[in-house]
A and B are shown apart, each in its own frame.
Chain A
Amino acid sequence: MYETVPDARRSQSRPRYPIAPVIGSHLCASRNTPTPGRGSFRICGSLRMMRFLLLFSRQGKLRLQKWFTALSDRDKKKIIRDVTQMVLARQPKSCNFLQWRDLKIVYRRYASLYFCCGLEQDDNELLTLELLHRYVELLDQYFGNVCELDIIFNFEKAYFILDEFVIGGEVQETSKVSVAKSMEEADSLQETMEEYVNKPTY
C-alpha cells in the first residue's frame, strides 16, 4: 500500500521533521537573495484562491457565509440567491461543479446541508471539493457527529474553525491535529502563569 512504505522508513530513528533541515541546509548555503524580477509587471486578478464559502440548507436558508474578496452587499445577495438556486436545482447524481458567470462553483451536500465554494476559473475543482470535505471533518471532530443544528446554534464556532483552516481564501493548516489544537487552546484559554502575570491591564 501507499502508506506502508513511508511508514517503515518513518520508524527508523527519524528526526521529527526531516523535511526542514534538508531544504534548510540547501537554502542557507546559497546566501544570495532572489533578484526581484527585472520589471514590475503584475498580472492582476489572477490570484488563485477561493472567493467565497457558503453553507445553506436544503430549503435554501443560509447557515454560514464567508467572503474572501471584498464585495458589495448587493453583489453578495445576488451571488447567494443565484448560487443557492442553481445548486438546489441540481439533479442528485450530477457533477459537483457549476459555472456561474466567470466563477466556478463547487458544491457538496452533507445530509441536509450544502457546502458551496466559489473559485477562480483555473483553480482545481476537485481539490476544493476535498477542501470542503476536510472542513466537514474538522467540524465533525470538534462537535462530534456534527449535524446542521450544531452549525445553526454554534455558527460562530464554525467560523472560528474555518478561520483556523482557511485564511484569506488560502488553506492555512491542513493538519487536522493542529487545527484541533489551536481551537482547543483558544476555547479553554489556557495561559501560562507567567503570561498571565505579564499580561497588560486595560
Chain B
Amino acid sequence: MSDVVEKTLIALPGLFDSQTGAAKITNRLRQLIKSITELTSKHEEENLIKQELSAMKEQVSSPNTTMKQMREIMVRAMYCEMLGYDATFTYIHAIKLAQQGSVLEKRVGYLAVSLFLNEGHELLLLLVNTVLKDLQSTNLIEVCMALTVVAQVFPKDMIPAVLPLVEDKLSHPKEIIRRKAVLALYKFYLIAPNQVQHIHAKFRKALCDKDPGVMTSSLHIYLQLIRESPDGYKELTVSFVTILKQVVGGKLPVDFNYHNVPAPWLQIQLLRILSLLGKDDQSTSALMYEVLDESLRRAEMNHNITYAILYECVKAVYTIHPKAELLEKAARCIGNFVLSPKINLKYLGLKALTYVVQHDAKLALQHQMTIIECLDHSDFTIKRETLELLFRITNAQNVTVIVEKMLDFLRSCDDEHTIIHLVGKVAELAEKFAPDNSWFIQTMNEVFSVGGDLLQQDVPNNFLRLLAEGSESKEEDDQLRLYAVDSYLTVLKGDASHLPQHFLQVMSWVLGEYGHLQESVDQHEVIRLLTKLLDQRNVSLETRVWILSALTKISEGHTDLIADLAESLSSSQDTVLRQQAHELRHLSRDSQLHEGVLPHGAPWEGMEVDSSLSFLDGFVSEALAAGAAPYKPPHQRQEELCEDRELNLEPYSFSLPVSLSSCSITDRHSPTLLSVSSGLSGNSTELSQKAGSSTLILEGVKRVWGKDGYLPQKETTAPPVDKPSPAVQPSGQQEASERIEPQPEPSTQNQDKQQLASSLFVGLGAGSSMSLLGKSEAPPPRFRKKPRPLDSSSSSSSGTSERSSDSSSRSSRSMTDNFLYGSLLEEEPATSISAFDHTPKSTTANGLAENTDAKEDRRANTSQILGGDMVIVRPNTIQDKHPPPASSDLTALLPADLKDLPHSDVISLTSDPSLSLCSCRVFRDEALLLVIFISNCTESVIKDVAVQLGCEELETASLRGNIMDSLEGKSTSVCHYALLMDDPHTNVSFTGTVCYQTQPGHTSTLPFSGTLSTADFIRPLVVTTEEYGKLWLSLSHDVKQNLKLLTDASDPLRTTLNALKDALQLHIVDIVGSEGIVACRLLSGAPCLLHCRVNGTALAMWLRSPHPALPDCILYHCQRALAQH
C-alpha cells in the first residue's frame, strides 16, 4: 500500500501543470533539507538519505520522468553527494539533462556534471557532443554554459574536437563569451599545452582586447607561458608595464575596483608576470622600476587588499635585478608587515622575510626582536613560519639556539606532517653546522626520539652513513663513534621501552659496529643490553633483525651468552630471524670464520660486492645439472604469465636459498637488505646489483640531490678535520649553553630576549659576496664529505689533486674557525646587540682572506690539471671546421712558454700579396690568448707593421708584439692578445687591421676578422662535491632545459657528460646513479654549475650561476655540442 502512495507522490509533480512544477521542485529539496536538519543522529540521517536515494533511483530510471523533474533530482543528488553519500547512478542523467533539457535545466545539468565528474572520468566523453552543439548555439547563455563547463572539466583527448569552436569565440562580439573562451583555452593549455601551440597569436589578441575582463583572463595564460620560458616574452614587458601603470593610475572602470583599490587581482597577476620577466635580466628590470615604485607608493591605504599587493610588490622587487632605492623601500614595507599588530599581516611579513633573507640575510637582523616575539607567539601558524625563517638564517654560530627552539616546538607539536617536515630540517642543520660531537649526537638522539616512527627513512640512513663513511682522520671518526656508543649505552640502560623503532635500529647498528671501540665497557654489558631489547614486546620484527645482526657482529668470544639466544631464535616463526639465528650460531662456534666474514673495523672502501655473484656459479651449474629450472628475472616471468592466461597454481622457481645466502655473506653491515631479501622476491641479481652500484651497502640513500640541488648535509660524512683547537671549542660551547638557559626572573625578561636575539642572529651581518668556495660567511661545516671513492675511469691524478685542494682549503678554514671562536669569546654574552657590530666584521675580514686563499688554491690546481697528464680536447668552434691550408706548421712558431698549453688549430684570417695572417687560440688559465701570426709573403722587408684588434664585448688584458719596425722577407712574426670575456655572449666577433709599409711612405691596410665563442673562455672549475653543494645553494640565476641524451652508449649519462666535457671545458664533479654534477667557470671568474639528470631519453639540465647570461650561453653550447655528436 505504502508503495502505491509513494509512487503517486513521486508522479505527482509530473501530473501538475508546469507552472506549479517549479514550486514543487524547490519544495521537495526544502523538505529533504528540513528533515535532515531535524534529525538528531547520524544513523537516522543515513537511513533517510538511503530512502531518498532509492526513491531517486527509481525516478530517474522511469521513462515518464520529465526533464523538469530530472532537474530537481539533480539538485537533490548534489545535496546527497555533498553530505558524503554516493549518488553515482545520477551521473549519466546529469549528462543527459545537459544534453536534452531546456536552458534552465541544462544549467543544472552542466553544474551537476562539473561537480560530479572529475577530470578524466570516462562519462565525460559523452559530454563532448553536447558541448559541441551548445558552442554552436545562437543562444548566448548556452554558449556561456558550454564554455564554463569546458573550462572546468573536459577530456584531454577530445580537445581537438572543440578547439576550433572555442577559438572562434575569441572574436565573439560579447565580452563575456570572449572571456570564457580565453579561460577555456587556458585550461586546455594546462592539460595539453601542445594542442594550443598554434594559437599563441590569438592569446596576443586577447591581451589587446578592449575589454579589461578579457585582458585579465589572458594574463593567466601569459603567466603560465612566461613561467616556462621568460625569454620568449621579453618584448611584452613594456605592454605589461603600461597596463599596470594604467591600473595603478585608476584608469579602469570603477566596477573593477575592490574596496576602492583598482583591480587588485589584475595588479597582482601583472606583478607576478613582471617579476618573472625581470628575473636575472637587468635591462628588462630597468623597464619596470618606475611602475614598481609607483605601486609601492600607491598602496598606502590600510586595507588587506593593499597589503596583498604590497607583498607581491616586495617579492617582485627582490626577484628582479636589484635596484638599491627600491630594495630599501621594499625593506621598509616588510617592516610595516612584521610590526603590524594584525596577525595576518605579521604572518605575511614573516613569509616575506623568509623569502627575502635568501637574498639579504641582514634584513633579519633589523627585525630580530619581532622575530623573537613571534617565536613565542600563541598562534601555531606564526610559530611555524618563524621557525621556517630561522631555518633560513642558521649558521654555525647560532645553530645550537635555533635547533633548540625547533626541538622545543616539536615537542609540543602533534601534527604529523609538521613533525616530519621539521625533524628533517633539524637533522639537516645538525649535520651541516654541528659545533661538536656531543652536541651532534645528542641532537640526533632528540631527532630520533621526537621524530619517532614518522621519521623518513633517509634521516637514520644519512646519519649512519655519516658515521660509517668517516673522514680521512680515523682518530676523529672514532671519537665521534665512541661518543655515539657511550650515549647509546646510557640511553639503553634507562627505560628503552618507549623508544621509536628507528632509534633502536640506529643504536643497535652503531653498537654492533663500533661497540668494541669503548674499551672501558665490557662487551658482556653491550650484549646484555641488546638481548634485553630483543625481549621487549614493542620491538618490531625489522628492529629485531637489526639487533640480531648487531649481536652477530659482537658475539665473537662471548659464545656462552649468545648460545641460548641463538638456540631459542632458531625456531622463530620468521624466516629471516631464523636464518640469522642460524648464522649467529654458526659464526659463534668458529671464530676464524667470524673474523673472515665480519672483521673488526674494516674500512668501508675495501668492501667489494661481487655483483655478478660469480661465487655462486658452481652452485647454479650443479643445480641446473640436477634438473632445476633456470632463473628468470621477474619481468620475464611476468611476460610469460601474461602469455598463457591460464591460472598457474604451480609455484615459480624461486632461487631463494641462493639470494639469502649471497646476501648474508656479502652484506656484512646492513640488516635492511636482509629483510628486503626476505620479501621472497627471489630476485637476487637485482638486489645485488643495487648493492653493487655503489660500494656502500646502506640502502635507501638514493637522493643525493634534492630540490635545491646537491644537499651536502645529507651526504656529509665523518667527523671534522677542521676541528677548532680543544682549548677554544668547549668554552664556545659552554657559552652557547649559558645563553639558552632560561632566566626565571621576569624583570630580566627583556634582557633575556635580547640575549636570545644575540645568539640567534649572530653571524648574519657578513657581506654576501660570493666566492668560489661559497658565501664568505658560510660557516665551516662540521661534518665534511669525504671525496667519494673514485671511479676506475677517472684518473688518479685528479683524485689526489682534489684531495690536496680539499685539505689546503680546510687548513685555511680551521684558522677562520679559531678566529671566530676567539672573537666570540672576547664578547661578553650579555652585551647583547653590540656583539653584532663586531662579529660580522671579523667574519668578513676572515671570509675575504679565506677567499683569496681558496682562489689561489683553485688556480694552482687548475693549472696543475691543465698542464698535467689530463688531455684537454679543445672546444670545436666555428673555425675548426675549416682547417686552414698548410698553416699547421705555424704552431711551431708559438713561443716556448705557450707551446705546452692546449691550443686550437691555426687558421688563416686573411692575406694579401704581401702579408698573410693566421691565428691560433691558446687556452691559458687566466685568459684566452689569441696568437696572430703575421707572415711576410714577399722577399723584401716590410716596415712598420702594426696590428690593431678591437672587440667591444671582449676585454684585452694584455698584448705583446703588435708593433714591429720591420718584418724580414719570408719570415713570420707573432703577436698575442690576452682576452677576457666579462659578459658572456654565445659568439663574439673581433675585427682588426694590420697597417704596414712595403715602400717607405706608402701605407697599406689589411683588415681581418674572426669569431670566438664562449666555449673559448670557459675553464673547468675544480670543486669537490661538497663545495659544489654549497656553491649551488648560493647561486641565484638558474635555467632549466632538456637536452639530448646520447643514448647509443651503455652509460648514456657518462657518455653525454664526457662529450660535453670534451666540447666545452667542463669539470665533471661527480656522477651518482642517474644524476651528474658538472662545474665550470668563465675566465673572469663567474662560476656556472650544471646539474644533469637522466629523464627518460632526455638529459634534464639545470644550470646555476651568479651571472644572469652565463647559463644560457653554456646551455647553447651544450646543445650545439650534443647536436654535433
Which residues of A are in contact with B by a Cβ distance under 8 Å?
2-3, 5-7, 9-10, 14, 16-24, 26-28, 30, 32-43, 46-48, 62-67, 70-72, 77, 80, 91, 93-102, 124-127, 129-131, 134, 152-153, 155-156, 159-160, 163, 167-168, 170-178, 182, 185-186, 189, 191, 195, 198-200, 202
Contacts and interface: CB of A to CB of B under 8 A. Distances in A.
Nearest to A64: B82
Among all A-B residue pairs, the 7 with the closest Cβ atoms: A37-B229, A6-B250, A20-B210, A126-B308, A177-B255, A127-B308, A24-B208
Given A20-B212, A172-B179, A195-B139, A33 B201 contact: yes
B242 A26 contact: yes
B209 A20 contact: yes
A23 B238 CA distance: 9
Contacts of A33: 200-201, 204
B702 interface: no
Contact of A41 (B200, B210, B224, B228): B228
A95 B255 contact: no
Given A19-B246, A42-B228, A170-B220, 12 more contacts: A5-B250, A16-B253, A33-B204, A40-B1042, A41-B229, A47-B190, A91-B379, A155-B78, A163-B111, A176-B255, A189-B103, A195-B140
B347 interface: yes
A24 B212 CA distance: 12
Contact of A94 (B208, B260, B378): B378
Interface in B233-264: 233, 235-236, 238-239, 242-243, 246-247, 249-258, 260-264
18 contacts: A3-B250, A3-B260, A6-B250, A10-B251, A19-B243, A39-B229, A43-B227, A63-B82, A67-B118, A95-B346, A153-B26, A153-B30, A168-B187, A172-B183, A174-B264, A178-B213, A191-B139, A198-B138
B104 A189 contact: yes
Given A6-B250, A22-B246, A38 B229 contact: yes
Contacts of B179: 172-173
Nearest to B117: A70
Interface in B805-850: none
Given A127-B308, A155-B78, A175-B255, A19 B247 contact: yes
A174 B267 CA distance: 12
A173 B308 contact: no
Given A17-B212, A163-B148, A186-B144, A35 B232 contact: yes
A131 B365 CA distance: 34
Contact of B251 (A9, A70, A102): A9
Contacts of B213: 173, 175, 178
A141 B732 CA distance: 65
Contacts of A20: 208-212, 215
Given A34-B232, A95-B382, A189-B141, A175 B256 contact: yes
Contacts of B265: 127, 131, 171, 174
B79 interface: yes
Interface string B429-453: 0000000000000000000000000
B344 interface: yes
Contacts of B129: none
B253 A70 contact: no
A34 B223 contact: no
B253 A17 contact: yes
Nearest to A46: B227
B1041 interface: yes
A89 B172 CA distance: 49
Interface string B205-222: 001111111011100100
B176 A126 contact: no
Contacts, number: 266
B1109 interface: no
B391 interface: no
A42 B193 contact: yes
A199 B395 CA distance: 71
B731 to A, nearest CB: 40
Contact of B347 (A91, A93, A125): A125
A30 B204 CA distance: 11
B268 interface: yes
Given A2-B260, A28-B208, A36 B232 contact: yes
Contacts of A127: 264-265, 268, 305, 308, 312
Contacts of A178: 176, 213, 255
B266 interface: yes
B311 A124 contact: yes
A144 B217 CA distance: 28
A125 B385 CA distance: 13
Given A3-B260, A48-B223, A199-B139, A21 B210 contact: yes
B115 A17 contact: no
Contacts of B379: 91, 94-95
Interface residues of B, number: 119
B491 interface: no
A23 B242 contact: yes
B256 A152 contact: no
Contacts of A182: 144, 176
B1067 interface: no
A163 B78 CA distance: 16
B638 interface: no
B120 interface: yes
A85 to B, nearest CB: 11
B307 A153 contact: no
Contacts of A167: 148, 151-152, 180, 183, 187
A191 B380 CA distance: 54
B108 interface: yes
A151 B209 CA distance: 35
A18 B236 CA distance: 19
B1009 interface: no
B384 interface: yes
B882 interface: no
Given A18-B246, A95-B382, A171-B265, A37 B228 contact: yes
A18 to B, nearest CB: 5
Contacts of A199: 137-139
Contacts of A7: 250
B218 to A, nearest CB: 11
Interface stretch (B57-65, B296-304, B963-971, B996-1004): B296-304
A91 B137 CA distance: 52
B137 A2 contact: no
Contacts of B1041: 38-39, 41
A40 to B, nearest CB: 6
Contacts of A72: 118
B216 A174 contact: yes
Given A20-B208, A98-B381, A160-B111, A124 B268 contact: yes
Nearest to A130: B305
B204 A65 contact: no
Contacts of B304: 126, 129-130
Nearest to B110: A163
Contact of A70 (B118, B141, B1100): B118
Nearest to B260: A3
Contact of A34 (B78, B211, B233): B233
Contact of B33 (A19, A24, A124, A153): A153
B272 interface: yes
Contacts of A70: 118-120
Contacts of A189: 103-104, 141
Contacts of B380: 94
B1068 to A, nearest CB: 22
A80 B82 CA distance: 11
A182 B174 CA distance: 11
Contact of A10 (B103, B119, B141, B250): B250
B232 A6 contact: no
Contact of A37 (B223, B231, B308): B231
Nearest to B104: A189
Nearest to A37: B229
Interface in B1092-1125: 1100
Most central of B82, B211, B236 by chain A CB within 10 Å: B82
